[in-house]
C-alpha cells in the first residue's frame, strides 16, 4: 500500500472531527492545537527558567541585596535553569511546538499520521514538566548538581536536592523522553509517508528538513540519556554501583564501590552534543525560510543546505567527548574529537555563507521577522567562532569551566535559537492567529533583546579570559579577579534584568494582538510555501478544505524572472502562473509592507 487514496483518506479524517469544547481544545487530536499546547507549556517552563536565571544573576551582581539566594538555592537555580532551557523549553518548543504546527501544513497533510499518539505526547510532556516542577516542593528541593548531573556528587549529601530532587529530575527526564519519542515518531512518519501529491523530499521547505533530521537525531540521542537516567536511578534508589565509585561522605564510607563516573559523562554527552543540534537544526530550517521569504529570493544553495543539515546531523554523534577534555582522556582521543569538532564547522559555515548569500542582492523587506533572522546570523557567527576556540584541546583546557564557556554556549544555543524562535513566531503569527501584531512594539522588543543579549554575553568572554570560574556562588576576593571584573558582573546583571523584563513586550504584543490586532491577510509576506495557501486563516481542522493540495514546484520560487508577481506558490501549476490581474497579493495595498 503505497498510499491512501485521496478519497479514503478524507473519509477517514472526517471521523476525527471534534464536537465539544473539551475535544476541541483540551483532549484535542488536531496537530495545530497540540502545537499550541506544547508551545504554551514550553513557554511557561521557559519563563520559570528565565526567572531562575534572573535570581542567580542578582546574586552574582549584587550579592548584598539577595538574602533569599543562599548557596544551596544558587546551585538549584543554576541547575534547573540549564535543564529547563535545554530540554523542556528549546527542544519542546522547536519540535513539539513548531514541529507539530509546521509538519502537516508544510507537507500538505491533514494531520499527523497518528493523531492519538500525538495527543498522548503532549500530555505526557505536561506530566514530565509537573514532575520536574514538583521537585521545587519536596524536602531538600530540586537537584543542585549542575545541569550535567555528574555523579558522584549528584547523590552526595553536600549537594542540594541529593535525595528527592535528583530522583524527580531523572524520572521527569525519562517521562520527557517517552513523550518525545511519541511525538518524534509522528513527525518522522508523517514527513516520510503523508506528503501531498507532488511534494518530493527535495521540494520540502528547509524547515521540514531541519525538523526531520533533528527528530531523527533525537530518536538516537535521547536513548543515551534514558540509559544514563535509568542506571543513575538504580544507583540512587537501589544502591547499585554503575556510576558511583567508592566514596567517603562526611567521614563514612558509602556502600557504593567501583562505579565509573566517566561512563556517565560519556553517556550524558553522547546525548548532550546531538541535543545541541536537535535545537539548532529546526532553528536553521526556520531561519532559512524566513530569510528567503523576506529577501524575496530563493534560498541560496538549497541542495547544499539539505546536505549540510544531514552532514551536521551525522557528525554531531562523533564529537561528544569535546565536552570532556578535562576529564583526563588519552591525548589521541582528544585529538580525534578536536578534529571531528572542527570538521563539523565546515557544513555549519556553509549554511552561514548561504544565509548571507541569500540576502545578497535580495529585495530585502525589513519586516520584524527579518530583524530577528539577521540578528540570528550575527549571534550565531559569534557563538560559532568561539566554538572553534573551545573545540581545540589546548585552548579549551585553560578556558574550561570559565565564563568563556558560558558565553559561548549561550550565544550559540541560547540566544541564537531564541532569536529564531522570535523570528518564526512573528513570521507565522498572522497564519496561526489570523491577526497582525504591533510592528513598533515588536521592533522595540528586537532591539532590547538583541543588544541586551550582547551586553550580557560579550563581557562574559572577557571574564572567561580572566579565569573567572563558572558555577561559583560568590567570587570572593582573589588577585586574578579585580574589582573591575566584579563591576562587569554587576553590569551583566543589569543587562540581564533589562532583557528579562523586556520580554514582557513580546507577551503583551502577541497576546494583546489576538484581541486588538488588525485582521491579517492570508499571506501577508507573499510566501510560496504550502502553509500560507490554506483556504482558511487560521487553518481549520483538516487544514485543506475538501481537497488536498497538489504541489508543482519547490518552496522558493521568489522573484522568478518573467513572472508577474514576485512569488509563485508551491501549488500553482506552471500553466497557471499568476498574471497581474489575478494576483491577490499587492504590496502597495498591503499595510504590513508599509515600511518597505
Partner 1 sequence: MGLIKTVTEKPWERKGVIGGMHPEGTFDTESERVALVYFLVIASVVFSLFLVSYYIRMELPDWEPLSEPGQLWLNTGLLVLSSVFFQWARNIVVKEEKRNLYTAFFGAGVFAILFIVGQLVTWENLQAGGYYMTANPANAFYYLMTGLHGLHLLGGLWVWSKSSIRLLSGGEPKDIKLSVELCTLYWHFLLLVWLVLFGILANT
By the criterion CB under 8 A, which residues form the site for partner 1?
A: 1-6, 9, 108, 113-114, 181, 185, 188-189, 192-203, 219-220, 223-224, 226-227, 230-231, 234, 238-242, 255, 257-260, 263, 266-267, 270, 298, 302-303, 306-307, 310, 548, 550-554, 556-557, 573-574
Task: Please report, to the nearest 10 degrees, the dihedral formed by the alpha carbons of residues 385, 388, 394, 395 taken in order.
Answer: 10
Rounded to whole angstroms, how far apart are CA atoms 239 and 220?
A: 28
| Residue closer to partner 1 (CB basis): 238 or 250 | 238
Rounded to whole angstroms, how far apart are CA atoms 208 and 214?
A: 10
| Residue closer to partner 1 (CB basis): 299 or 344 | 299
Report in angstroms the alpha-carbon separations of 168 from 120, 127, 135, 212, 273: 21, 12, 6, 30, 23
Q: How many residues does the chain have?
A: 596
Phi, psi of 194 (to 5 degrees): -115, 20
Instruction: Determine how many CB atoms are found less than 10 A away from the CB of residue 187.
Output: 29
Rounded to whole angstroms, how far apart are CA atoms 572 and 590?
A: 22
Collapsing DSSP to helix, strand or coil, 296 comes out as coil
| Residue closer to partner 1 (CB basis): 420 or 548 | 548
Identify whether the C-beta of residue 466 lies closer than 8 Å to the C-beta of residue 434: no
Report in angstroms the alpha-carbon separations of 301 from 297, 307, 354, 356: 11, 10, 6, 11
Smallest distance from partner 1 to CB 260, Å = 6
| Residue closer to partner 1 (CB basis): 255 or 586 | 255
Smallest distance from partner 1 to CB 403, Å = 33
| Residue closer to partner 1 (CB basis): 441 or 560 | 560
| Residue closer to partner 1 (CB basis): 84 or 229 | 229
Rounded to whole angstroms, how far apart are CA atoms 576 and 223?
A: 49
Smallest distance from partner 1 to CB 197, Å = 5
Smallest distance from partner 1 to CB 194, Å = 7
Smallest distance from partner 1 to CB 259, Å = 7
Smallest distance from partner 1 to CB 244, Å = 10
Spatial CA neighbour of 221 closest among 80, 95, 393 = 95
Smallest distance from partner 1 to CB 574, Å = 5
Rounded to whole angstroms, how far apart are CA atoms 320 and 336?
A: 11
Smallest distance from partner 1 to CB 529, Å = 12
CA angle 587, 592, 593 (to 5 degrees): 40
| Residue closer to partner 1 (CB basis): 43 or 170 | 170
Smallest distance from partner 1 to CB 78, Å = 28
In angstroms, what is the C-alpha Rg of the chain?
24
| Residue closer to partner 1 (CB basis): 186 or 348 | 186
Rounded to whole angstroms, how far apart are CA atoms 72 and 74?
A: 5
Spatial CA neighbour of 457 closest among 380, 373, 389, 377 = 380
| Residue closer to partner 1 (CB basis): 20 or 330 | 330
Amino acid at each position: 500500500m503505497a498510499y491512501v487514496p485521496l478519497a479514503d483518506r478524507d473519509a477517514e479524517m472526517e471521523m476525527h472531527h471534534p464536537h465539544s469544547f473539551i475535544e476541541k481544545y483540551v483532549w484535542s487530536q488536531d496537530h495545530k492545537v497540540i502545537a499550541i499546547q506544547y508551545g504554551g507549556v514550553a513557554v511557561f517552563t521557559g519563563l520559570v527558567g528565565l526567572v531562575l536565571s534572573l535570581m542567580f544573576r542578582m546574586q552574582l551582581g549584587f550579592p548584598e541585596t539577595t538574602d533569599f539566594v543562599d548557596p544551596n538555592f544558587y546551585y538549584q537555580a543554576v541547575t534547573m535553569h540549564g535543564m529547563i532551557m535545554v530540554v523542556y523549553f528549546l527542544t519542546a518548543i522547536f519540535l513539539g511546538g513548531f514541529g507539530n504546527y509546521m509538519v502537516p501544513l508544510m507537507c500538505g497533510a491533514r494531520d499527523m499520521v497518528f493523531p492519538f499518539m500525538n495527543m498522548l505526547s503532549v500530555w505526557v510532556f505536561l506530566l514530565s514538566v509537573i514532575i520536574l516542577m514538583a521537585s521545587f516542593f519536596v524536602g531538600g528541593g530540586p537537584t543542585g548538581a549542575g545541569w550535567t548531573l555528574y555523579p558522584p556528587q549528584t547523590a552526595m549529601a553536600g549537594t542540594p536536592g541529593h535525595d528527592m530532587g535528583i530522583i524527580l529530575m531523572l524520572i521527569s527526564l525519562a517521562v520527557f523522553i517517552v513523550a518525545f519519542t511519541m511525538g518524534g515518531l509522528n513527525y518522522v512518519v508523517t514527513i516520510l509517508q503523508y506528503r501531498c501529491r507532488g511534494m518530493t523530499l527535495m521540494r520540502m521547505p528547509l524547515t521540514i528538513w531541519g525538523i526531520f533530521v533533528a527528530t531523527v537525531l533525537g530518536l538516537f540521542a535521547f536513548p543515551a540519556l534514558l540509559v544514563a537516567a535509568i542506571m543513575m536511578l538504580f544507583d540512587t534508589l537501589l544502591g547499585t554501583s554503575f556510576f558511583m565509585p567508592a566514596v567517603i561522605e562526611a567521614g563514612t564510607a558509602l556502600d557504593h564501590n567501583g562505579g565509573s563516573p566517566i561512563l556517565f559523562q560519556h553517556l550524558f554527552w553522547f546525548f548532550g552534543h546531538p541535543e545541541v543540534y536537535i535545537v539548532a537544526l529546526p532553528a536553521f530550517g526556520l531561519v532559512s525560510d524566513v530569510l528567503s521569504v523576506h529577501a524575496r529570493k530563493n534560498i541560496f544553495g538549497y541542495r547544499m543546505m539539505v546536505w549540510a543539515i544531514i552532514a551536521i546531523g551525522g557528525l554531531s554523534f562523533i564529537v561528544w567527548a569535546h565536552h570532556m577534555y578535562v576529564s583526563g582522556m588519552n591525548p589521541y582521543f582528544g585529538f580525534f574529537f578536536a578534529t571531528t569538532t572542527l570538521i563539523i564547522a565546515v557544513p555549519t559555515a556553509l549554511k552561514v555563507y548561504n544565509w548571507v548569500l541569500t540576502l545578497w542582492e535580495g529585495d530585502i523587506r525589513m519586516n520584524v521577522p527579518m530583524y530577528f533572522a539577521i540578528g540570528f546570523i550575527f549571534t550565531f557567527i559569534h557563538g560559532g567562532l568561539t566554538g572553534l576556540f573551545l573545540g581545540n584541546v589546548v585552548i579549551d583546557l585553560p578556558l574550561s569551566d570559565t565564563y568563556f564557556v558560558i558565553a559561548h554556549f549561550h550565544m550559540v544555543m541560547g540566544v541564537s535559537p531564541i532569536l529564531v524562535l522570535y523570528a518564526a513566531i512573528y513570521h507565522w503569527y498572522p497564519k496561526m492567529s489570523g491577526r497582525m501584531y504591533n510592528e513598533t512594539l515588536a521592533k522595540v522588543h528586537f532591539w532590547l533583546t538583541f543588544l541586551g543579549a550582547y551586553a550580557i554575553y560579550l563581557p562574559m568572554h572577557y571574564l572567561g579570559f580572566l579565569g573567572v570560574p563558572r558555577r561559583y556562588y560568590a567570587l570572593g576576593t582573589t588577585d586574578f579577579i579585580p574589582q573591575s571584573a566584579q563591576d562587569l558582573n554587576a553590569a551583566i546583571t543589569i543587562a540581564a534584568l533589562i532583557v528579562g523584563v523586556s520580554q514582557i513586550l513580546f507577551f503583551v504584543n502577541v497576546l494583546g494582538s489576538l484581541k486588538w490586532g488588525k485582521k491579517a491577510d492570508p499571506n501577508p509576506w507573499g510566501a510560496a510555501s504550502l502553509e500560507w495557501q490554506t483556504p482558511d486563516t487560521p487553518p481549520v481542522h483538516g487544514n485543506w478544505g475538501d481537497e488536498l493540495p497538489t504541489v508543482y514546484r519547490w518552496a522558493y520560487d521568489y522573484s522568478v524572472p518573467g513572472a508577474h508577481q514576485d512569488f509563485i506558490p508551491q501549488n500553482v501549476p506552471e500553466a497557471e502562473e499568476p498574471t497581474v490581474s489575478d494576483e491577490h497579493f499587492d504590496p502597495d495595498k498591503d499595510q504590513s509592507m508599509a515600511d518597505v
